[in-house]
Chain A
Amino acid sequence: MKLSVDATKCQGHGRCYALAPDLFDLDENGNASALETEIPDDRRADAELAAANCPENAITVA
């Protein structure tokens, strides 16, 4: 399942990393990216939780 963070929308709230640190990386400015773009299905729930908690709607789980 695909995970992505829209870098143009990310504002560095860090909610995704706080909820699922194994799925996301934060750069030196605190902006997020998906650690892996393909993630196993058993991580879907946490990926979707991270997406739901992003105030910028920057995370896509497909």
Chain B
Amino acid sequence: MTYQKRVERGDEPLPKGQYIGFLGALSEDPFAALDALGQQPIFWTDDHNDVDGYWIATRFEDVRDILQDAEAFSSIDSQIPFVQMPDPLLPTETDPPYTQKLRVLLMPHMTAKKVNALEPRMHEVCRGIIESFRADGRCDVVEQFSRVYPITVFTQWFGLPSGQQEEFRRQANIFLHYADRRAEAWAAILGIVKEQLIEKRANPKDDLLSAIATGTIDGDLVDIKTAVQLGGAVFVGGLDTLPSNISWALRFLAGHPEHRRQIIETPNMIPNAVEEFLRLYSVANPMRRVARDMEFRGANLVAGDRILCSIAAANRDVETFGENVAFDRRVNPHIAFATGPHRCLGSHLSRHELGIALRIWHELIPDYRIAPNAKISYSGPIFAMENLPLEWDV
């Protein structure tokens, strides 16, 4: 079945190719492309490979209201490309009230207070990584820092043995960036998660996988299949998001010495800088499935239509946030971690790690620039740079 509904307002959908699409390799910086597009009324696009079209929301109020209304905008059968995964991501691809029953298994291990306890480890890992290449005067931030630091912290907290980190990262990278190999990568990830869950059900420790393995839903021990899907979703959820955000932040700072100076001279501004970077570089842009025929903000939506919530565009809505990059922004109700019942559970972990990355990076390497003639590649669906060569004087 194809979904050939158009906005019936006399507005034409954007010409094919104007919206960059967001799967696989991206030909340009996705945030710059979205800024050029600007905030639009909800529009239809066919601009992707061989799958049904979908709607795109770019205005802050539209995206916020869609994500807060789980009845009209379901998370079940919401993903594109519209390929049949063996099992849905949990709790991502559920609707309330089941969503909350799954989330409470995870939430106690993902609070800000719980994350605070990881701080010494974050510092140690972050510092060790940067010190390993500091004397070189250059690095590829993506490969040598952003995609190493969070995973190293994460896997210990998650409960994975250190010997399996490389394999996880490899499989997750395939899962996130190669749509045609996604199913096999996912199976590999779930296989490892399942093995760990069974072990932790028998010998629980104080980590997230143990909490999942021993959790209950409606009084019953969670079944292994559900536990595996939960573990898999948590694993994937943080794997390219935070690393991408770290890279985007450093790229910005490499080109803006005045903002860098603020971080160095006023480190207690770092939490604000974190919020501003989350706002500017919202890398995760979720889909929803329209639950019933409805007119919404001028678009005639039909039950079953998919709608992409461009959080990236919403958080750059000039009407809501103005045009400037401002670390001293007092009001910043960005929705980088979404809003509504699927608010990202990794939000506190991400904030903490990003803050520590900014602090320690600038303690060790306060002055740096993007390498001349750098050719940066971009990818999706999590908006990422595939490389970011920086250099500095030593």
Within 8 A of B (CB), among A41-62: 49, 52-56
Task: Note all chain B residues with C-beta closer than 8 A to A53.
Answer: 331-333
Determine if B333 and A14 form an interchain contact, defined as CB atoms under 8 angstroms apart.
no
Q: With A11-B341, A14-B348 known to touch, is A55 a contact of B112 (CB < 8 Å)?
A: no
The reply on B9 being an interface residue by CB < 8 A is: no
Determine if A54 and B333 form an interchain contact, defined as CB atoms under 8 angstroms apart.
yes
User: Which of B103-111, B142-150, B174-182, B227-235 lies at the binding interface?
Assistant: B103-111
Report which of A11, A17, A52, A54 forms a contact with B112, defined as CB distance below 8 A.
Answer: A17
Distance between Cα atoms of A40 and B143 in the complex (Å): 51
Determine if A26 and B112 form an interchain contact, defined as CB atoms under 8 angstroms apart.
yes
Task: Note all chain B residues with C-beta closer than 8 A to A56.
Answer: 68, 339-340
Within 8 A of B (CB), among A6-39: 11-15, 17-18, 26, 28-30
Task: Note all chain A residues with C-beta closer than 8 A to B271.
Answer: 18
Q: Looking at chain A's contact residues, is the secondary structure mostly helix, strand, loop, or mixed?
A: loop
Report which of B68, B110, B333, B337 forms a contact with A30, defined as CB distance below 8 A.
Answer: B110
Task: Note all chain B residues with C-beta closer than 8 A to A54.
Answer: 333
Determine if B104 and A11 form an interchain contact, defined as CB atoms under 8 angstroms apart.
no
Determine if B111 and A13 form an interchain contact, defined as CB atoms under 8 angstroms apart.
no
Determine if A26 and B111 form an interchain contact, defined as CB atoms under 8 angstroms apart.
yes
Task: Note all chain A residues with C-beta closer than 8 A to B121.
Answer: none
Q: With A26-B112, A28-B111, A29-B107 known to touch, is A52 a contact of B331 (CB < 8 Å)?
A: yes
Task: Note all chain A residues with C-beta closer than 8 A to B108.
Answer: 28-29
The reply on B64 being an interface residue by CB < 8 A is: yes
Determine if B331 and A55 form an interchain contact, defined as CB atoms under 8 angstroms apart.
no
The reply on B334 being an interface residue by CB < 8 A is: yes
Determine if B339 and A11 form an interchain contact, defined as CB atoms under 8 angstroms apart.
yes
Q: With A49-B330, A55-B339 known to touch, is A30 a contact of B111 (CB < 8 Å)?
A: yes
Determine how close the nearest CB of chain B comes to the CB of A6; give it in whole angstroms. 13
Determine how close the nearest CB of chain A comes to the CB of B118; give it in whole angstroms. 15
Determine if B107 and A30 form an interchain contact, defined as CB atoms under 8 angstroms apart.
yes
Distance between Cα atoms of A55 and B68 in the complex (Å): 10
Which residue on A lies nearest to B68, using beta carbons?
Answer: A56
Distance between Cα atoms of A17 and B116 in the complex (Å): 14
Report which of A13, A15, A26, A49 forms a contact with B113, defined as CB distance below 8 A.
Answer: A26
Task: Note all chain B residues with C-beta closer than 8 A to A11.
Answer: 339-341, 343
Distance between Cα atoms of A13 and B350 in the complex (Å): 12
Determine how close the nearest CB of chain B comes to the CB of A34; give it in whole angstroms. 17
Task: Note all chain A residues with C-beta closer than 8 A to B341.
Answer: 11
The reply on B262 being an interface residue by CB < 8 A is: no
Known contacts A12-B343, A17-B112, A55-B335; 6 further A-B pairs (Cβ under 8 A)? A18-B271, A29-B107, A30-B110, A52-B333, A55-B334, A56-B68
A residues bordering B, Cβ < 8 Å?
11-15, 17-18, 26, 28-30, 49, 52-56
Closest 4 CB pairs of A and B: A30-B111, A11-B343, A29-B107, A55-B339
